[in-house]
Structure 1
Amino acid sequence: MDLARHDTGTVSVAELVGTLSLSADLGLGQPMEHVARACLIAVRLAELMGLSADDRGDTYYLGLLAFVGCTADSHESAALFGDDLETRAGVYDVEIGSPAMLAYLLRRAAGHGSLLHRATVPARLLATGGSGVRPLMATHCQVTGQLAARLGLGERVCGCLEQTFTRWDGRGTPPMQGEQIALPTRLVQLADVVEVHHRHGGVAAALDVARRRAGGPFDPAVVAELVRHGPVLLDGLPPESSWAELMAADPTPRALTGEGLDGALEALADFVDLKSPYFAGHSRGVADLAAAAARRAGHPEPEVRTLRRAGLVHDLGRSGVPNTIWDKPGPLTALERERVELHAYYTDRMLRRVPALADVGAVAALAHERLDGSGYHRGVAGTALPATARLLAAACCYHAMTEPRPHRPARTPDEAARELRAEGRAGRLDAGAVEAVLGSAGHRPRRAAGGPAGLTPREIEVLALLARAASTRQIARRLGITPKTAGNHIERIYLKIGVNTRAAAALFAMQHGLLGSLEPVEP
């Protein structure tokens, strides 16, 4: 029994890509909904310019996706320039591909790393005129194009994503200029920068940066349209959250359900894991292991499905932590540990935006919590952690132990199993969840996987109803069994858990996280 009550239902492609854009906001060193507001600017400007429905549709999805690729080059960017979030945030004050940007990158490289790094990296950048960052841009564009293809967004959107770092004057990458660059790309490039300057300095600052960069990175004709419509367009942005307007602006809503939703979430999981080479395959591996453990423990298939989806997105917030922390070879400071713990909070905030993923988000947000309250980000404990969250926590721990990290090599499966059981004995992880995970990972369980006190899946269902004061007849009707069979289940439950009253049974169910999967009992 668990938080997962049913299939999560219908999720639109826009909701899923929009959720990923919130992750991109953090990776760009911007507050959440930077990308959402920039996308609205681009789409509304396209409408004011009278663009075709196809161009407006391409602009919408390009606006959401163009800059999510910052995750892919974080490892390399941090190695060159230090904190990748700070580096990208500072780029908005200079033109991409300009001498000012080269000077900015030289300062970043010279202020980071060892003495050898501070001497050699700036020298290489200066000698090549900054062309050493072009591979980072190419990586960014390639992975966003692959993601768009996996989400079925069409060849034109994929083609536009390859042009993300072009410039109107031809000094960008790849070497294209003028009207060779697709109009949706030109709109999104302008809107991305304008949103930041509008947020910091209002309409005047936004229009000023657009005018100064017209003819360089930006199409002068598009800038002219922005200047013409800018005050009305920019003042018309939502004062707080842009999420509702962003979803309403979707020109071609497409629903994702069942296997389509699973495939899209897998694409997001793979993308999230690009944040660091140490995370490659982590989210998908955790999801599959947690789902297998849930089946082994007798959870019904809807809960297994929700748990797997939660595993795929449980680390969505990693983009909000710089790679100077994720890739650090030594121990973290107290402040660095606090920043790591924030990633669970970011994940929670992102998934809350999509109502149809509420059940998934409720489990995913608990992936790093512990039974004794020592986890993060909420520090919840005991009965507040449902069975699926306990399985996810154990699966995440085990899988992470078997992966290399910058401060340690990967543990062997046997080493990881010993450590995981030690966490169970210490009361930080649920012992039953630990054995279910280890059994699913190929280890011999020390006791049969299943519910606490040896309860079977059917007995857990009966207990959940009993805890809600359902009568024997109501339990029988709800589960499609005879009243006699229901009564036999109740007797065995009482015997196994060592109680003889409904209230005591309800307390046991709450203590072990066995409630939450069933709707209220009808009279």
Structure 2
Amino acid sequence: MQPDHTVSVDDAVHLLVMIGDLSMGQPTDQSIRTARLAERIALADGAGRAGCAHARLVALLRWSGCTANAPGFATLLGDDVGGRDAMLRHALPPGHPLNFATVAPLARIHCEVAGDIAGMLGLPAEVEAGLRHVWEWHDGSGTPQGLRAPAIPAVVYVTSLSGDLEILARTRGLDDALHMIRAWGGSKYPAALAELAARHAAGWLAELDAPACPADEPLLTRQVPLMLIADMIELKLPWLTGYSRRVAELAQRAAALAGLAPEQQRCLGRAALIHGIGRVAVPNTVWERAGKLGSADWEAVHLVPYWTARAGTQVPALRAEAALASHVYERLDGSGYFRNLDAEALAMPQRLLAAAGAHAALCAARPWRAACGEDEAARILADEARAGRFDADAVALVVNAAGGQAPAAPARKGVLSEREIEVLKRISLGDSNKEAARVMQISPSTVRTHIESIFRKLECSTRAAATLKGLTLGLI
């Protein structure tokens, strides 16, 4: 893969914003609106320019760990997307299993991954600290550490309050929102801050709804790897780990074999890395269902490439890549989605991306089936091409690309032992200690010992954070 698959920090943040909003079942402008409220609250509370900027960034990125704990919320609530939306609106049904004991481990995963992402983006230490403590409460009843004032960064209160104000005013009305915010004053955030926000809330919200909001100031223009976005998306479904990287590798190599221009090759690789954005809007239970999907499930799945296309409207610098990425599920006979395009509308880049995505998927294990070998994947795709769904030339190019010599792996620099890397690969795919032990033919206690060593060496405490760091370091 070419080394120039990078984006500015500003673009990375806005991709993460959209992914976070979709993951939490929110409108795609929810975090942007919350960030604008956070700036206003911070300014009214006496924060300077830097403090307001930190509040904005924490509010924008407060959902950036939400793909990492999606499996836990799916187990807890059944629907990780709709369930978290109901949680934010305080509309969960009576008797639901969400309580401090059940949510604390999920909050720990979320905060660790969000903080790590801030570090990888090179954001200020104050932003990283805010994200690592974003679920703490003023009175010590929050998570993940149960901190209380003054140990909690002030930006946490501003972010929490702005998020509550935006969501509750939109879903329950301003009067109910202010009643709830005042009731949480002194527990969730300082009472004085809650009262300050309540006094100005109507005016601030009206400004957000005005035809033209003031333009947001740009963040950092420093470049960061686009692969970070792909890796963060795939934390939602551990068995997808590394999938988009593989699609990008196949698509680019096939494009080179096809003689496409270097810029087209680059666009294909970048499109492959972001093609999964819309996947986060669909509950994990849909993705992991072994049986036939129902009509409602298919309706949600058909919107996946639509949401990916929408990313181009939020991040204009990736408009071409997002548009190309949204064609990954189109088929030559018009049976694909979401546009139901046919052969006349699909050029070679779209055809290569579709074939690369299908090949990479077939060659990876899924909860409902084992991985196909490369020969079997080639046969299946050839059959699909003969049936008119894939381009035969594109399939041949992708199969040839898959059979070519793999690019050299990055130097591991002795961060982990080979055995620890093997364990990390297993847990990154969602294996339990027992499952990893069975595959590796060692005892579960030995796996546990290796995991403890991995956590210590990678300076993390959750499997999701270890997976993200392992991918970033080239260990898996």
Scaled by the length of structure 1, what TM-score is found? 0.73
Change (3 A) 1:151 1:139: same
Q: 1:164-223 CA deviation, whole Å, 9 max, x = no partner? A: 110011011112112321111110111111101111244323322210111121221221
**8 Å CA contact retained: 2:89, 2:167:** no
**8 Å CA contact retained: 1:330, 1:406:** no
Q: 1:245-286 CA deviation, whole Å, 9 max, x = no partner? A: 4xx323x53225xxx35x1x1111100111111211111111
Change (3 A) 1:141 1:9: closer
Change (3 A) 1:291 1:423: same
After TM superposition, list the pairs within 5 Å mapping 1:249-398 onto structure 2: 249-250=216-217, 253-256=219-222, 260=223, 263=225, 265-398=226-359
Matched, 1:217 2:184: no
**8 Å CA contact retained: 1:82, 1:108:** no
Matched, 1:442 2:409: no
Residue 490 of structure 1 is matched in structure 2 by none
- Give the C-alpha shift of residue 387 in structure 1: 1.3
Amino acid at match of 2:281: G
* Distance across 1 between alignment mates of 2:196 and 2:147: 22
Change (3 A) 1:276 1:214: same
**8 Å CA contact retained: 2:11, 2:317:** no
Matched, 1:145 2:115: yes
Amino acid at match of 1:249: D
Matched, 1:84 2:80: yes
**8 Å CA contact retained: 2:5, 2:270:** no
Residue 483 of structure 1 is matched in structure 2 by none
* Distance across 1 between alignment mates of 2:361 and 2:138: 45
Whose RCO is larger (CA < 8 A, sep 6+)? Answer: 1
Change (3 A) 1:31 1:390: same
Aligned residues: 401
Over the matched positions of the two proteins, sequence identity in percent amounts to: 36
After TM superposition, list the pairs within 5 Å mapping 1:10-49 onto structure 2: 12-49=8-45
Amino acid at match of 2:388: G
Q: 1:433-471 CA deviation, whole Å, 9 max, x = no partner? A: 111111110079xxxxxxxxxxxxxxxxxxxxxxxxxxx
* Distance across 2 between alignment mates of 1:9 and 1:342: 26
Change (3 A) 1:10 1:391: closer
Residue 132 of structure 1 is matched in structure 2 by 102
* Distance across 1 between alignment mates of 2:347 and 2:44: 50
Residue 65 of structure 1 is matched in structure 2 by 61
The answer for unaligned runs of 5 or more in structure 1 is: 1-7, 95-100, 110-124, 445-523
Amino acid at match of 2:58: L
* Distance across 2 between alignment mates of 1:194 and 1:283: 36
Q: 1:367-418 CA deviation, whole Å, 9 max, x = no partner? A: 1111111111110111211211111110000001111112211111111111
Residue 187 of structure 1 is matched in structure 2 by 158
Residue 462 of structure 1 is matched in structure 2 by none
The answer for unaligned runs of 5 or more in structure 2 is: 406-476
- Give the C-alpha shift of residue 9 in structure 1: 12
Amino acid at match of 2:101: S
* Distance across 1 between alignment mates of 2:284 and 2:208: 33
Amino acid at match of 1:148: A
**8 Å CA contact retained: 1:331, 1:407:** no
Amino acid at match of 2:176: A
* Distance across 1 between alignment mates of 2:227 and 2:190: 37
Change (3 A) 1:107 1:312: same
2:177 to 206, 229, 248: 206
Scaled by the length of structure 2, what TM-score is found? 0.80
**8 Å CA contact retained: 1:78, 1:324:** yes
* Distance across 2 between alignment mates of 1:425 and 1:239: 54
Residue 434 of structure 2 is matched in structure 1 by none
Residue 125 of structure 2 is matched in structure 1 by 155
- Over aligned residue pairs, what C-alpha RMSD do you find? 2.3
After TM superposition, list the pairs within 5 Å mapping 1:230-249 onto structure 2: 230-239=201-210, 245=214, 248-249=215-216
- Give the C-alpha shift of residue 238 in structure 1: 2.8
Q: Which has the larger radius of gyration?
A: 1
* Distance across 2 between alignment mates of 1:140 and 1:327: 21
